[in-house]
Amino acid sequence: MLLERHLCSAGFILLVTTACNTRPSVQDGRDAVRLQIDEGRDDRLALTDFVKADGRPGELAGVKLYTIIFTADARFRRDATFSIGGPLSTEGASITTKPYIAPTRGFSWNDFLASSQGFRRAFEGDLLRLSGEITFERRESGWTPVSARMRYALDSTERVPELAQATEIQSAPDHARSDPNVARLTSDLRNLAVAQEAFYAETHALASLADLQRGRWRASAGVTVELRRESPERWSAVAKHSSGSTVCAISGDAGKRGIPKVSCRD
């Protein structure tokens, strides 16, 4: 203890470790959370942001503890499936990812096991918004993480502009470039497709219009959208602007990546 106090007060920067700190650092917290994602591997899901929201010191049986309360973002680097616990859980101690494999038609034991283990689909560019706490224990070697608890929310809105821009020239009707109402219709339908895709990845079910409106998707002013469920995995939507006669339509299959083509007619 005297040696530790001497090192901490003497200013020997190269020798100072977390053993000299009265509490774990923000970097300690970030490193601890990173290790809870695929045991530190970041080829599919990488921690991109970490913020310490608060801290809470404690003690148990004479052992000093410190809890970092945090928020963080992790971005998917490729299409994947992920789980934080059981089939209905959005809270757990760690996140596990697996490569995405398209579901087979008919019954598949692999699909059944993945679903029963709580694995959900995510696409490249999606974000996991994380929040939770990491508890550290003070040992002779320094502050050591001993427990973690975190929650997540899957956010696909970050890639909406990228996908919409990538398909705008190829998919948009020719007159959409000169008619602002048609441009609004095509944009709303593309954003609806991305929101539908994100909802299906989270729930394994198609969203209703009310489901999407409870999220971040909204139709533009003057635009009316009708969303239809054609089958358990296929949907379609029709949009019309109150000040024009043009009708635009889109349809898609759940779990199929990419924004379907929008078609319009007067």
The highest-confidence range among 48-52, 152-156, 162-166, by mean pLDDT, is 48-52
Contact 138, 67 (CB under 8 A): no
pLDDT digits (tens, 9 = 90+) for 133-149: 999 999 999 999 999 99
User: Rounded to 5 degrees, what angle do the CA atoms 95, 96, 100 make?
Assistant: 130
Mean residue pLDDT of the chain comes to 79
Q: What percent of the chain has pLDDT over 70?
A: 75
Residues 157-195 pLDDT 10s: 555 444 444 344 334 445 444 577 888 898 889 889 888
Mean pLDDT, rounded, for 78-104: 80
Average pLDDT over residues 203-232: 87
Q: Six-digit token pair at 121?
A: 């689909």
Per-residue confidence (pLDDT) for residue 20, from 0 to 100: 60
Is the predicted pLDDT of residue 47 greater than 80, yes or no?
A: yes
Q: Which residues contact 201 (CB under 8 A, 6 or more apart)?
A: 120, 121, 122, 123, 126, 154, 156, 255
- Please check the confidence at residue 19 and state whether its pLDDT lies above 90: no
Per-residue pLDDT at 202? 76
pTM: 0.56
Mean pLDDT is highest, among 25-34, 155-164, 235-244, for: 25-34
SS3 helix, strand, coil % of the chain, rounded to 5? 30, 35, 30
Torsion from C-alpha of 41, 42, 48, 53, nearest 10 degrees: -20
Integer CA distances (angstroms), 47 to 51, 54, 157, in order: 11, 19, 18
Q: Look at 24-33, 69-78, 100-109, 193-202 and tell me which has the smallest mean pLDDT.
A: 100-109
C-alpha 250/C-alpha 141 separation (Å) is 60
Q: What is the pLDDT of residues 8-17, one digit of tens each?
A: 444 433 334 4
* Nearest alpha-carbon partner for 68 in 40, 36, 43: 36
Whether 73 shows a pLDDT value over 90: the answer reads: yes
